[in-house]
Chain A
Amino acid sequence: MEINVQIFYEYFQFLFAGVGLTLGLTVAAVCIGIIIGLFVSLGKLSHIKLLRIVTSIYIDFIRGTPLLAQIFFIHYGLPQIFHYSPNVLFDAILTLSINCSAYIAEIFRGGIESIDPGQNEAALSLGMTFAQTLRKVILPQAFRRVLPPLGNVFISMLKDSSMVSVISMQELLFKGTIAAGQSFRPFEIWIMVAALYLMLTIPFSRLVAWTEKRMAQQT
């Protein structure tokens, strides 16, 4: 059996069309996930016990269940009970955002806790309010520390976004499934899919490594 080069020409454009959706889903999910994650992490660090309990349950629930189950639940399960007509793209972004928000919340919590509590006390004793302390002192430092792990979340999300192919989102992986099924040439197709994923993940992992190195020099 030899490699059929013709397949590469024939299917490249078809597969490449899926890259945009994969990247778009990932960027949207991570951005929304950062916003949700920030609030969840603040809830988990809060002095109010109820908030701590609710956010802990949220994180445990999301991290403790498979992404695929979450997708099926949100897309097929909820509309069955609440009788609305779902939108695939909305559900895909929603599920991916919620999923990565739990991981991001834990990253933020770790980042905020890593800031010396003395700084918090100092800022408060200078007369800054809690919100001011958070915005001007704690978060800017914490955010720099969490950049590398956030990059890792982004890279895993690039790959995990393939899960939404089950609800008919034609991202890169689903395009690959279709192309492999039509051409009966799985080797050529999946090599191309792998190359396209690497084209997205490698530059990003280099960027993460670079920021990590730069920050190590600064501290």
Chain B
Amino acid sequence: MKKKIGVIFILGIILSVSTIGYAKNKDNAENTIVIGTAGCYPPMEWVDVKSNKLIGFDIDLMNAVCLEAGLQPEYKIIAFDGLIPALQSTEIDVIACGLTITEKRKEVITFSDPYFQSGDSLMYWDDQTITGPEDLSGKSAGVQANSSTHYALEEISQQLKNEGKAPINFKMFKSMSDAIAELQIKGVQAVAIDYPMAAYYMTNNPNSTFKLNLPFASCNFGMGFRKDDTELVDKINQGLSTIKENGVYDKLITKYFPK
């Protein structure tokens, strides 16, 4: 009996050591960059269930840009909240996750040139009439915590308060998909969400009874870098402008955002 326990114990140790070895990065080549993404925002990026690989606009774009810049992309999935900390701790080198360029984020990271124009929009049940964010006064709205859409809506809520109207009743989620799930069960009256993601949801769920408004505010997506990593920013910006000129960019746009 004692022998058996000993064998199991040793097996356990071997197993755990081998997992550590597996988790460690393969020795990185000089020109490898690690790209961090949350991997749950279709059509920007998501994980294909069949191949278990990251796909989406951001991924194809980064692949094309890296090809131009002579870099070897490697992807890492990290929760949206953890992306900027992971960048700062050098776990990743680039954030490519539909990250909106904001003044507040510019205080801690550097952005590439804008690579996509997006917008904040509202999605809600078709038995409601919501023409703009002001109509959310006194209603509940699901947002992803710390997203730019959340910040934009919070400003509007503050304005409503100053005007003496009821503020927006926020419900915060860790991802946009959780916020949509909450909308599906009518736990919130509306969700505020990036327009491309909402539009993707609508096209892929034609039977849904949601309504989607056109964006109430526009914003730009950019890749995020560490502040001192100017060399990499230049390389990526150069690659970005090349693929915008040679038509690769437009092809990706028509692939992921068909009119």
A residues touching B (Cβ–Cβ < 8 Å)? 75-76, 79-80, 85-86, 88, 165-168, 170, 174, 177-178, 180-182, 184, 186
B residues touching A (Cβ–Cβ < 8 Å)? 81, 84-85, 88, 107-108, 142, 145-146, 171-174, 178, 181-182, 184-187
Does the CB pair B181–A76 fall under 8 Å? yes
Does the CB pair B145–A86 fall under 8 Å? no
Does the CB pair B172–A170 fall under 8 Å? yes
Besides A167-B182, A168-B171, A180-B85, 20 other A-B contacts (C-beta < 8 A):
A76-B181, A76-B182, A79-B185, A79-B186, A79-B187, A80-B184, A85-B185, A88-B171, A88-B187, A165-B174, A166-B173, A166-B178, A168-B173, A168-B182, A177-B81, A177-B146, A180-B81, A181-B145, A184-B84, A186-B85
**Chain B interface SS verdict (over half):** mixed
Bound together, the chains give a CA A71 to CA B150 distance in angstroms of 24
**Residues of B with C-beta under 8 A to A174:** 145, 172
**Residues of B with C-beta under 8 A to A186:** 85
Bound together, the chains give a CA A188 to CA B205 distance in angstroms of 42
Does the CB pair B145–A178 fall under 8 Å? yes
Give the shortest distance, in Å, between A90 (CB) and chain B (any CB).
11
Bound together, the chains give a CA A133 to CA B146 distance in angstroms of 57
Instruction: Return the contact of B185 from the options A86, A177, A178, A181 (Cβ within 8 A).
Output: A86
Give the shortest distance, in Å, between A138 (CB) and chain B (any CB).
35
Bound together, the chains give a CA A88 to CA B142 distance in angstroms of 13
Does the CB pair A80–B185 fall under 8 Å? yes
8 nearest CB pairs, A to B: A181-B146, A79-B185, A168-B171, A184-B108, A85-B186, A76-B181, A186-B85, A181-B81
**Residues of A with C-beta under 8 A to B88:** 184
Q: Name the residue of chain A whose CB is nearest to the CB of B185.
A: A79
**Residues of B with C-beta under 8 A to A178:** 145-146, 172
Q: Name the residue of chain B whose CB is nearest to the CB of A1.
A: B88
**Residues of A with C-beta under 8 A to B146:** 177-178, 181-182
Give the shortest distance, in Å, between A26 (CB) and chain B (any CB).
21
Bound together, the chains give a CA A206 to CA B199 distance in angstroms of 54
**Residues of A with C-beta under 8 A to B84:** 181, 184
Bound together, the chains give a CA A76 to CA B85 distance in angstroms of 30
23 contacts between A and B (CB under 8 A): A76-B185, A79-B185, A79-B187, A80-B184, A80-B185, A85-B185, A86-B187, A166-B174, A166-B178, A167-B178, A168-B172, A168-B173, A168-B178, A170-B172, A174-B172, A177-B81, A177-B145, A177-B146, A177-B174, A180-B85, A181-B146, A184-B88, A184-B107
Bound together, the chains give a CA A81 to CA B203 distance in angstroms of 23
**Residues of A with C-beta under 8 A to B107:** 184
Bound together, the chains give a CA A81 to CA B145 distance in angstroms of 28
Bound together, the chains give a CA A174 to CA B178 distance in angstroms of 14
**Residues of A with C-beta under 8 A to B171:** 88, 168
Q: Name the residue of chain A whose CB is nearest to the CB of B175.
A: A166
Bound together, the chains give a CA A168 to CA B176 distance in angstroms of 12
Q: Name the residue of chain A whose CB is nearest to the CB of B146.
A: A181
Bound together, the chains give a CA A167 to CA B172 distance in angstroms of 8
Bound together, the chains give a CA A88 to CA B187 distance in angstroms of 8
Bound together, the chains give a CA A178 to CA B84 distance in angstroms of 13
Give the shortest distance, in Å, between A179 (CB) and chain B (any CB).
10
**Residues of A with C-beta under 8 A to B178:** 166-168
Q: Name the residue of chain B whose CB is nearest to the CB of A72.
A: B181
**Residues of A with C-beta under 8 A to B81:** 177, 180-181
**Residues of A with C-beta under 8 A to B182:** 76, 167-168
Bound together, the chains give a CA A186 to CA B182 distance in angstroms of 28
**Residues of B with C-beta under 8 A to A75:** 185
Bound together, the chains give a CA A168 to CA B142 distance in angstroms of 9
**Residues of A with C-beta under 8 A to B108:** 184
Q: Name the residue of chain A whose CB is nearest to the CB of B174.
A: A166
Give the shortest distance, in Å, between B68 (CB) and chain A (any CB).
31
Bound together, the chains give a CA A79 to CA B107 distance in angstroms of 42
Bound together, the chains give a CA A88 to CA B173 distance in angstroms of 12
Known: A166-B174, A182-B146. A85 touches B187 (CB 8 A): yes
**Residues of A with C-beta under 8 A to B172:** 168, 170, 174, 178
Give the shortest distance, in Å, between B191 (CB) and chain A (any CB).
11
Bound together, the chains give a CA A170 to CA B158 distance in angstroms of 20
Q: Name the residue of chain A whose CB is nearest to the CB of B151.
A: A182
Bound together, the chains give a CA A85 to CA B186 distance in angstroms of 6
Bound together, the chains give a CA A180 to CA B185 distance in angstroms of 29
**Residues of A with C-beta under 8 A to B142:** 168
